Amino acid sequence: MAIERTLSIIKPDAVAKNVIGQIYTRFENAGLKVVAARMAQLSRAEAEGFYAVHRERPFFKDLVDFMVSGPVMIQVLEGESAIAKNRELMGATDPKKADKGTIRADFADSIDANAVHGSDAVETANVEVAYFFPALNVYSR
C-alpha cells in the first residue's frame, strides 16, 4: 500500500446535473483528499491530447465531442491506493454494468455520458496529473 495521486475529472454531464459536491463527498468519505482542483471548458485540442491513447478507437470523436460539450471539474486526489480506490468509487465504464452505490451507477446516463474519469495506473496518473496541473499547484497536506 502506498500514498498515490490520481487525476479525476467530473465530466460535463455530472457538472450539468449539479452533483460536484455529492461526488466530492464520496471522495472525502473514502479518505481521498482533493490536493488540486480547477473548473475548465476543454478545447478540442486539450480533450484530444488527454484521450490520445484512444485516438484510433471508433468512439474517439464522440468522446471528444462529449468532453468539450460543457465545463468539467478537474481534480487531483491523494491517498492510500488512490488510483484503485477512485476506480472503485467510479464503478464500471458502462453505468448499466456499474455496481450499486458507485458514482456511475448513481449519476451516469450512458457509456458516453458516464459522469467521471479516473486514471487507471501509476504511469497514466503521473502523465494525466502533469497534463492539467503544474507541480506548483498541487497542495499535498
117, 118, 119, 128: the catalytic one is 117
The whole-angstrom distance between residue 12's C-alpha and the CA centroid of its chain comes to 11
133 is in an annotated binding site: no
| Residue 91 in the binding site for ligand RTP (CB under 6 A) | no
Is 54 annotated in the active site?
no
Q: Taking a C-beta distance cutoff of 8 angstroms, is the pair 104, 91 a contact?
A: yes
DSSP per-residue letters across 33-98: EEEEEEEE---HHHHHHHTGGGTTSTTHHHHHHHHTSS-EEEEEEEEETHHHHHHHHH--SSGGGS
The whole-angstrom distance between residue 106's C-alpha and the CA centroid of its chain comes to 15
Cβ nearer to ligand RTP, comparing 36 with 47: 47
Pick from 117, 128, 132, 133: which binds ligand RTP (CB under 6 A)? 117
114 is in an annotated binding site: yes
| Residue 127 in the binding site for ligand RTP (CB under 6 A) | no
| Residue 112 in the binding site for ligand RTP (CB under 6 A) | yes
Pick from 63, 84, 105, 138: which binds ligand RTP (CB under 6 A)? 63
Q: What angle do CA 26, 14, 89 make, to 5 degrees?
A: 30
Point out which residues bind ligand RTP (CB under 6 A): 54, 59, 63, 93, 111-112, 114, 117-118, 120
| Active site members | 117
